[in-house]
A and B are shown apart, each in its own frame.
Chain A
Amino acid sequence: MTSQPLLRVQAVSKTFGAIRALNGVSFDLHPGEILGIIGPNGSGKTTVVNCITGFIKKTSGKVFFRGMDISSKPPHKIADMGVARTFQIMRPYYSLPAYKNLVIPLFSPRAKRTGGWRGGGRLGDRNTVGIDILEEIGFERDSFVPYKLAATLPTGYLKRLELARCLALKPEIIICDEIFSGLSMSEIASMVPLIERLQMDGITLIMIEHRLRELFRVANRVMVLNFGEKLIEGAPDEVMADERVKAAYFGSEEIEEVMCHA
């Protein structure tokens, strides 16, 4: 891996009252890789994301993006630097059509700066760019789906919309919070190539997942969290062979399945 990590998380801790949600978690994210973060429920996966992106204040620890300390920056500043995230609980702008959902991030300072379009796409408006991005992410261009209200879209499309909202920013890092959960097998099967394409386009990804088998198809490295502490970090098969991970996931069918396949 390259010497300078794109993102460095240094001994980040977070306590909610008496509960230690995160306890000194550190890891590096290298340019172009896909890092999977897994762990049982309540192990602090989403808290890590919230700490990196500034949505909650860290109790202690530091986060560096390209060597710059972003620990105390507000969320919109961090997103503006190119760290985009999706939300585990999808919350699109329900009252707007799908493509208008993308007009909003396209209006952001970062999109105006990085997009290369002057206030819009080739026709000079953000609506067109929005539809372009939706097509890239798997909305059929000539269908009526991009024009439907976000409130009426099924989960599969909403997950894609979350991802599309990140792409509109032309980010350097996308942090996906359980982007596969709640999707059918076929929907996941069509999402996986999408993730691979993003990686080929040079975007670095952090993926928080419960769907281990699908994650292991795309992830280069996996980090396991348990009770807010980093258990192990390494290649997917190494990690799964570790006894402590087995103990943490004890009884989980998914992991047994993965173990059998490995």
Chain B
Amino acid sequence: MSSEQRRKERIDRGIKVRSEGIYALMSIRELSYLILPRLILIAGLLVLPMALPGMYWQRVLTITCIYALLAISFDFLAHHVGLVSLGGAFFVGTGGYLAAILNTTFGFPPWLTIPLATLAGGAVCTVLLWPCLPLRGVYFAIISLMYPLFMARVIEALDILGGTDGIMGIDSFTNRRVEQYFILGVMLIILFAVRRLSTTDLGLVLRGVKDNDQAIRASGMSVTYYKSVAVFIASSMGCLGGACLVHIYMWSGISQFALDFSILPIAATIIGGAGTLVGPVLGCLILVPISELLRDFGTLRIVFYCLILVAFIIFRSEGLMVFGSRKYQQFERWTRI
């Protein structure tokens, strides 16, 4: 049989159909079909800090979670609202510096600075990005890339907020386990919260902004308002990451405006699967440790890193999560035409 006479057919698995909606409650099998993948993710991540050997890799996991927060934020903005933002570093820096100031100047403890920096940082980022909100697509991307560069240069040139030395002497978390599980827990909660948000009516409106903003206007809703709501949500996540970061390193500096925080989450989103939200988290779990492992190669690190990225884009361009969930929910077979 030649390949022209056959085609690949994709059919939903019976269990997928049986476990839709209320029918999932039929039996333990349907329930576990739904719960198991989520359970593996949650339990796996919660066990990981215990299982990992040594402080170094545990710290890498914590940093991975912060990148994962940024990746969720990027994925949410880009694929659920239609704003491609390269401002991840801007969010991290704003949150980081705010937490640092609140801690060193006002003496607030970390459990107060982190929520404050999250909300205030989200507000600051939203206000500063407000003038750019009418922009779409690549234009918004370029403008949002400017912000972290701008902030770093302002701090450097005016020598404010500690200048190039940064702000030192920031309180750390009470101990290592608290630090790990706090960030891990927050990341998981935000992952599921954003996932839930995307299916609420507000989430649908945001998706509408991406699909067809003229129709949103024609429905009597301000596109700029809903974009700013989305930017507030996304930048708060970034600021949360930044605030955690300064308490981990006990230092806040202009390297928090480094473009790593903008670029790596995007790479993770591409690898993990755009729009899936959990995909970017998986992407970070792959990319951040890889980039640490590649430190042994010295300068060649970037080369290998690029090769891995290119390989992913060529062989799994749809993203791991899209590929994985398709295999999980459907089976493929060849049929004769």
Contacts and interface: CB of A to CB of B under 8 A. Distances in A.
B211 A94 contact: yes
Contacts of A93: 204, 207-208, 211-212, 215
B104 interface: no
Interface in A40-94: 53, 55, 74-77, 79-80, 84-85, 87, 91-94
Given A103-B201, A107-B202, A126-B201, A79 B207 contact: no
Interface stretch (B6-14, B155-163, B184-192, B218-226): B218-226
A92 B215 CA distance: 8
Interface string B178-219: 000000000000000000000001101101100110111111
A80 to B, nearest CB: 4
A165 B215 contact: yes
A105 interface: yes
A85 B220 CA distance: 11
A104 interface: yes
A109 interface: yes
A76 B222 contact: yes
Contacts of B211: 91-96
Given A92-B212, A126-B201, A104 B218 contact: no
Given A95-B211, A96-B207, A104 B220 contact: no
Interface in A108-139: 108-111, 126
A79 B214 CA distance: 12
A54 B205 CA distance: 21
Given A76-B221, A110-B220, A104 B214 contact: no
B332 to A, nearest CB: 21
| Interface core residue of B204, B205, B219 (most chain A CB under 10 Å) | B219
A96 B216 CA distance: 14
| Interface core residue of B201, B207, B222, B223 (most chain A CB under 10 Å) | B201
A105 B217 contact: no
Interface of A: 53, 55, 74-77, 79-80, 84-85, 87, 91-96, 100, 103-111, 126, 165-166, 168-169
5 contacts: A76-B222, A84-B218, A91-B214, A93-B212, A100-B204
Interface of B: 201-202, 204-205, 207-208, 211-212, 214-223
